[in-house]
Structure 1
Amino acid sequence: MKLLVTGYRGQLGFDVVNEATSRGIDATGVDIDEMDITNAEQVNDVIKAGNYDAVVHCAAWTAVDKAEEPELFDKVMEVNAKGTENIVNVCKELNIPIMYFSTDYVFDGQGTTPWNEYDKRNPLNVYGQSKYKGELAVESYPKYFIIRIAWVFGKNGNNFIKTMLRLGKERGAVSVVNDQIGNPTYTFDLAKLVVDMIQTDKYGTYHATNSGDFISWYDFACEIFKQAGMNNVKVTPVDSAAFPAKATRPKNSRMNQTELDRNGFNRLPAWQDALARYLKEIDF
């Protein structure tokens, strides 16, 4: 099998290429320098030249607050919606599958009931709107996988864990929101599922975060410092109003994983286990 992986320099793209390669799969990673997804002609040329069997599309605009700046709205939509559409169009022409990564932000973030894969989408910020439009583009073609993830962390890039460890060292105390509930996603674990799934024809929409009880960001921070042996750091729970942001954050990021179970895919390991393994991989 021959894969093209976009967003190679990001947390997920990097791990997907490594996982695929470790299994003897020919995986080529590209980023904006090699293939600007907003350039339809370039997307067409790169995908066709590679004779790929599938595209794993990890590239995206992910700066959630920056996306709210009016002058950047068109750019965000160009990357997450139009860029995705450009890839879909070539995959359609070549009759090869596309895998697209989406987010809990496509829902309105209300209530306490975990979201099902085919619940009504009603994004509450610009980033969520752009990813929703990307989903619609992907759904126009039958050979698609959509995987919704949340609270992502990996070796290659910045994330909540690295931020907590840095602030804990610098300040000895942190305040963390306790009214946003969900589960984290370790890209190393997700990459294994991605490579398993892309080799099947079990198309559709999936939710894939690490397993275990749903938690708040406060709970996550407490476990980070516990496992890191930084028990001297004081962690104070606060509500979202304490950290006003340009983009509204979902309070309910709980996601069911019914489709993974129904299609015989393994769920990702427990988030506590993922965190323990991750802390061994990074310097802090």
Structure 2
Amino acid sequence: MKILLTGKNGQVGFELAKKLSTLGEVIATDREELDLANPDAIRAFIDQTKPDIIINPAAYTAVDKAESEPDLAYKINVTAPEVLAEKASELNIPLVHFSTDYVFDGLKKEAYVETDPTNPQSVYGKTKHDGEEKIRAHAKHVILRTSWVFGSHGNNFLKTILRLILDKESLNIVGDQWGSPASSSMLADVTLKIVDTILKNKNFNDFGTYHLTNEGETNWYAYASFIASEAMKLNLKVKCAPNQIHSILTSEYPTAAERPLNSRLNTDKIKKTFVLELPHWESEVKKVLREVI
């Protein structure tokens, strides 16, 4: 069994590279081995390796930078998935692809379900949305939309807050954007179960789009305060305690790309289909903090 994995140095790819080896030979790639901005290189690599399944967590994820680099974001988030889907169709193999809450505009009051209309508001969101559409042209696909990814590897909000509370005496954090943090470890565990299910069941027909985050919801301000509080419990000597973190509005912190105010994703579909119990985001944050402090 050959598993082609992109983005092995990203947050999710790093965890997947460690865990997928229980299912078969993992061909784990990064930009050096597989340049996703080069369609011909993708085709040649797949022709050479002939995988049994493709897993694509790699993406252009620099949300603000994408506003000034739309062509590169398009190549990696739209053209590359299109080529992966074409090759998967040729080989008649499954394709697992990761997407984002940014395909929505964030104006819904409740958590988004998979069938809700999309309306991306940024270059990043639009390219991820268009990438999803390219993936859907291939019958055997699983699209996993997630949000607010964090883990012990790579750059993320949790590690940024840890750095800032050591350096700053106070912080202003946006408090009107709501979502559910998703740990890279959980995402890898669930992906492992999905891949195992697909490979073991020749009649698997639950392909499609799924939402996947940890349980619970929060906002960036409450999330930062929780990180600081838990870090102090682990005896981290901080300059900025939770009571020195202040909530501000999105309008007070302008960014190049627009962020959805509501990033909450309803995970009922994936829990029911794959019989999952998802851990709460707070327990996953505690676990990661123990790893990095």
> Shorter-chain TM-score category?
over 0.9
5 Å-filtered alignment, 1:72-83, equals: 72-83=69-80
The residue that corresponds to 1:246 in the other structure is 256
Measure how far apart 1:82 and its partner are.
Answer: 0.5
Equivalent residue for 1:165? Answer: 162
User: Structure 2: which 5+ runs fail to align?
Assistant: 199-203, 233-237
Aligned-pair identity in percent equals 35
* 2:61 alignment counterpart: 62
SS at match of 1:43: helix
Instruction: Kindly tell me the number of residue pairs found equivalent between the two proteins.
Output: 279
RMSD in angstroms over aligned alpha carbons? 1.3
Say whether 1:208 aligns with 2:205. no
User: Whole-Å Cα distance in 1 between the matches of residues 208 and 272 of structure 2?
Assistant: 11
Q: Which residue of 2 aligns with 1:144?
A: 141
Please tell me whether the aligned partners of residues 2 and 24 of structure 2 are also in contact (alpha carbons under 8 angstroms).
yes
> By how many angstroms is 1:198 displaced?
1.6
Aligned match for 1:108, one of 94, 98, 105: 105
In the alignment, which residue of structure 2 is the partner of 1:221? 224
Distance 2:158 2:59 in 1: 21
Deviation at 1:19, TM superposition (A): 1.0
Change (3 A) 1:187 1:83: same
Residue type at the aligned position of 1:58: P
Distance 2:153 2:228 in 1: 21
The one-letter amino acid of 2:260's match is P
TM-score scaled by length of structure 2: 0.92
Tell me the CA shift for residue 9 of structure 1. Answer: 1.0
CA apart distance, 1:52: 1.2
Moved more, 238-247 or 264-273: 264-273
Aligned to 1:77, the other structure's residue is in SS state helix
Tell me the SS of whatever aligns to 2:279: strand
Which stretch has the larger CA shift, 172-181 or 40-49?
Answer: 40-49
How far apart are the structure 2 equivalents of 1:40 and 1:166? 38
Per-residue CA deviation, residues 57-97 of structure 1 (Å, 9 max, x unaligned), is 0111000001111xx21111111001111111111100111
Alignment of structure 1 residues 17-56 onto 2, 5 Å:
17-21=17-21, 23-56=22-55
2: distance between equivalents of 1:244 and 1:177?
A: 10
Say yes or no: does 1:84 pair with 2:81.
Answer: yes
SS in 2 for 1:55: strand
**Equivalence map 1:269-280=2 (5 Å):** 269-280=279-290
* Aligned 8 A contact 1:152 1:186 in 2: yes
Match of 1:265 among 240, 262, 275: 275
Task: Determine if contact 1:37/1:86 at 8 Å carries over to the other structure.
Answer: no
Cα distance in 2 for partners of 1:161, 1:176 equals: 13
**Structure 1 counterpart of 2:4:** 4
| One-letter identity of the residue aligned with 2:241 | N
Decide which of 166, 172, 177 is 1:175's aligned counterpart.
Answer: 172
- What are structure 1's unaligned runs of at least 5 residues? none
1:75 and 1:244 map into 2 onto residues whose CA distance is 23
Equivalent-residue separation in structure 2 for 1:25 and 1:211 (angstroms)? 30
Letter aligned with residue 280 of structure 1: R
Q: Which amino acid aligns with 1:19?
A: K
Q: CA deviation at 1:24?
A: 4.8
For 1:78, give the aligned amino acid.
Answer: K
CA pair 273-115 structure 1, distance change in 2 beyond 3 A: same
State the SS of the aligned residue for 1:145.
Answer: strand
> Using the alignment, how far apart are the partners of 1:116 and 1:102 within structure 2?
14
CA distance in 1, matches of 2:127, 2:241: 41
